[in-house]
Amino acid sequence: NAGVTQTPKFQVLKTGQSMTLQCAQDMNHEYMSWYRQDPGMGLRLIHYSVGAGITDQGEVPNGYNVSRSTTEDFPLRLLSAAPSQTSVYFCASSYSGERGARYEQYFGPGTRLTVT
């Protein structure tokens, strides 16, 4: 199993540009989530999904969109990039949909995004 994969590893955007961060898992996990990590602030939840077709907001959802058309994929879209979105983004997945947060999370390697 590849586990959780994320692409790209690094990305530089200009203010106002849009892009999609890709996340895929091959473990048939129902629960998937996106976090951003900023220095001294730990990980903050952006959006999460308990299964295909179901998504919900986390702690810091503004400026980001998600969709979940398949169990495997959970892309994160930046609508109009801002310097405040410079961060490292992590995707994670776990067993169980409705109670996914209660289980061990499997993390991807991260995408380091810089917005200039």
Partner 1 sequence: SQQGEEDPQALSIQEGENATMNCSYKTSINNLQWYRQNSGRGLVHLILIRSNEREKHSGRLRVTLDTSKKSSSLLITASRAADTASYFCATAPFGGNKLVFGAGTILRVKS
Kind of pairing between the strands at 87-94 and 76-78: unpaired
Closer by beta carbon to partner 1, 17 or else 75? 75
- The answer to whether 24 contacts partner 1 (rule: CB under 8 A) is no
Q: How far is the CB of 30 from partner 1 (least distance, A)?
A: 11
- The answer to whether 71 contacts partner 1 (rule: CB under 8 A) is no
Binding partner 1 by CB under 8 A: which of 25, 33, 71, 85? Answer: 33
Distance CA 11, CA 3 (A): 22
Q: Where are the beta strands (DSSP E) in the chain?
A: 4-7, 10-13, 19-25, 31-37, 43-51, 54-57, 64-66, 76-78, 87-94, 106-107, 111-115
* Sequence-distant (≥ 6) Cβ neighbours of residue 14 within 8 angstroms: 81, 115, 116
Q: How many residues does the chain have?
A: 116
- The answer to whether 44 contacts partner 1 (rule: CB under 8 A) is yes
Closer by beta carbon to partner 1, 17 or else 61? 61
Binding partner 1 by CB under 8 A: which of 15, 20, 59, 77? Answer: 59
- Write down the residue that tokens 């790209």 correspond to: 8
Pick out residues in 87-116 that bind partner 1 (CB under 8 A): 90, 92, 98-110
List contacts with partner 1 (CB under 8 A). 4, 31, 33, 35, 40-45, 48, 50, 56, 58-59, 90, 92, 98-110
